[in-house]
A and B are shown apart, each in its own frame.
Chain A
Amino acid sequence: MSNNERAGLERNQGGLDHKRTMFLKAFWGLYLRDLRVLSREVMPFLLRVGMQPLLFLFVFTFIMPRMSGGNPMAAAGGATFGAVLLPGLMAVAIMFSGIAAVALPLSTEFGITREIDDRVMCPVPVWAVAVEKISFSALQSIVAALLVIPMAIWIPATPVYPHIQNWLLLALVLVMSSLLAGALGLAIGSIVPPKNIGLIFSIIVVPITFLGCVYYPWAGLSRIPWLQIAVLFNPIVYISEGLRAAVTPGVEHMPVWAILLALTFFLVLLGRFGIRGFLKRVIS
């Protein structure tokens, strides 16, 4: 190798290092910005992620067991209804948080104000701005999901304790599910026009929650085979089942390998879809 070539190579490597540093610093800057915005909204954030599991647990595991005639839902689920509900509510918290953290803000930022512009003009590839959105939303989803655990212990008439045997599995499922929710939020936020964003709740969010094996385990659908197959196209199913496997392994759940495989599949699918939509919105 000649001296010139060596010098060129070194310069190139320096350039690559420089590029990586620039990239990381910009990404970190975007993260700090989101943290700052979130720090201003701690209360709204807690209310947003906490209200639904709080009321759900209060009504179904505190009020109903005390009602005369008992709780029909709890009766159907048996004594384990609380155990079925805990991972399900964590799944809902993850998904709602992903949509609230990405889809809703994006729809305004893309809309009239176009305030995403300054972040898009960062010295990083535009897809990285979208990835930052997903990963920051994932952080919120994880917090939201973990908040459900103490609620499930304190609120129900009979406390529901998690039985975590495999911490690695829990971490893996939590992180993958949260990223998946962020990717879903990104896909919705960048594809749906701002004026229709409210409608999305009725036609996408509510159905995928109710049909997402949140309030019942997937195995429980065995007597309705068409539905059991149909819900396999719903990514929320794997979030619920994954958390079931990690948090309440005593409740029947899908095999872990299938859950992880499906989570990966939907993460890649929705991630690609969301990032592509994002790019389309900001680059003409």
Chain B
Amino acid sequence: MIVEIKALTKVYEGKQRVVAVDGIDLEVQQGEIFGLLGPNGAGKTTTIGICTTRTLPTSGTVRIAGIDVVGHAAEARKLIGVVPQYNTLDRSLTIFENLYFHCRYFGFSHGQAKERSEGLLAQFLLTERKDATPSQLSGGLAQRVQIARAIAHRPLVLFLDEPSAGLDPQSRIAMWSAVQELRKEGITVVLTTHYMEEADELSDRVGIVDHGRMLALGSPQKLKDTFGAETMIDLKLRHVEGAETVAVEVRGLDGVKSAEPTAEGLRVFATNADGLLPAVIQASVRLGLRDIAITEPSLETVFIHLTGRDLRE
């Protein structure tokens, strides 16, 4: 077991008591890409903060390859690489030096550090920019340097906190393939995200967190099969008042699992939308149907099933 989280809690005492992490248990296997999915403020960053020795837990333990991160923080840091949410590249150093000195911090000799840095620059297609300073790089490039830096000392597990926050779509895809490449090197990856596509695309297993608790855990397919195998049809209506009567009518349709009025109209979960759609439209058209959105079974629908809320809410 490479990452072992047991009954982890973190409470921020203060004027407003905040329970950021509320009893999370998690085990991540060697070589796995694990995604923590949840909305902002769910406790993902705090969990990662504790795993990476930057935040002290209120109770519970985290072990990285058997080493306790609180009791033996310095040793644990040798085993982990971290890509934080923000660009924390050393602004006083060039890109090459960012990698080189990172290696030196981890005990590499001059020769080893130079060789490793040059290797990483080539691997991440950064060689041309090696003498640039971090402030000259675009967000996507800076993120690549941060990943290269995080794995420079050959950690067993890499933690990525919201790796695609602030990246353009193209950089995001480049980042995804960089992370998938890491698997070939046998690096275990734990990432947090509030993009369900990211969790779905990248992760072998996903943990869905909300309000500091782990709501569900499993492969994306298993989660979809268990919690959200239904297509979601969101209807926006001009006259919301009558939504309940439409809901009753829709519930009677073949294939409909549930239908609930929402603030803007009606939300329908159904096992198969194809033949159903005309009937649903028919039923709701008299309330002034102004928009219809269909979401195929995804981690998004799983999340909504589990919490009743959207990831972005």
Contact = CB atoms under 8 A, between A and B. Distances in A.
Interface of A is mostly: helix
A55 B301 CA distance: 71
Contacts, number: 90
B105 A29 contact: yes
Contacts of A10: none
Nearest to A124: B74
B74 A121 contact: no
Interface string B73-94: 1110110001010111111110
Given A23-B74, A118-B149, A123-B74, A283 B106 contact: no
B78 A284 contact: no
A89 to B, nearest CB: 29
Interface of B: 49, 52-56, 73-75, 77-78, 82, 84, 86-93, 97-98, 101-102, 104-107, 149
A32 B106 CA distance: 13
Contact of A118 (B53, B55, B88): B88
Interface in A1-59: 19, 21-23, 25-26, 28-30, 32-33, 36-37, 40
A113 B98 CA distance: 15
A115 B89 contact: yes
B54 A120 contact: yes
B159 to A, nearest CB: 10
A125 B73 contact: yes
Contacts of B77: 121-123
B55 A283 contact: yes
Give the interface size bracket for A toward B: 20 to 34
Interface in A107-147: 113-126
Nearest to B87: A113
A113 B88 contact: yes
Q: Quick one: which of A19, A116, A118, A119 has the most chain B CB within 10 A?
A: A118
Interface in A209-250: none
Nearest to A114: B88
Contact of B104 (A29, A40, A116, A117): A29
